[in-house]
Amino acid sequence: MASPITMPITLMSGQSLTIDSETNERYDVQGGSLEIVSGGKVSTVSSSMEASGSVKMSGGEVDQGIMITQGSFEATGGTVLSSSASPYGKDGLSVTNASARILGGTFAGVQASAGTWNVHSSDGGWLSTPFLSKLQIGGGTFLSGSAFSDYYRTAYSLLSIGNTTVTGGRFSAPIIVNGGSGGTTEFLGTNLAYNDSSHILSGVLQNGDRIDVMVDLFGAGASVNESGTEVLFSAAFYSPAPGSNPPPIPDPNPDPNPVPGPTPDPVPVPDPAPAPVPVPEPAAVTIFGLMTVLGLARRYSLRAG
CB 90, CB 63: distance < 8 Å: no
87: pLDDT strictly greater than 70: no
Contact 34, 13 (CB under 8 A): no
pLDDT at 243: 56
pLDDT at 5: 66
Residue 58 has what pLDDT? 98
In this prediction, residue 235 carries a pLDDT of 93
CB atoms within 10 A of CB 62: 27
Weakest-pLDDT range from 90-104, 135-149, 235-249, 291-305: 291-305
Q: So what's the pLDDT on residue 129?
A: 79
Mean pLDDT, all residues of the chain = 77
SS3 readout for 101-139: EEEEEEEECEEECEEEEEEECCCCCEEEEEEECEEEEEE
Query: Domain-by-domain residue ranges, the chain?
Result: 9-237
pLDDT at position 131, please?
Answer: 85
Question: In 3-state terms, what secondary structure has residue 149?
Answer: coil
Q: pLDDT tens digits for 31-50?
A: 999 999 999 999 999 987 77
On the question of pLDDT at 145 being above 80, the answer is: no
Contact by Cβ (8 Å): 59, 35: no
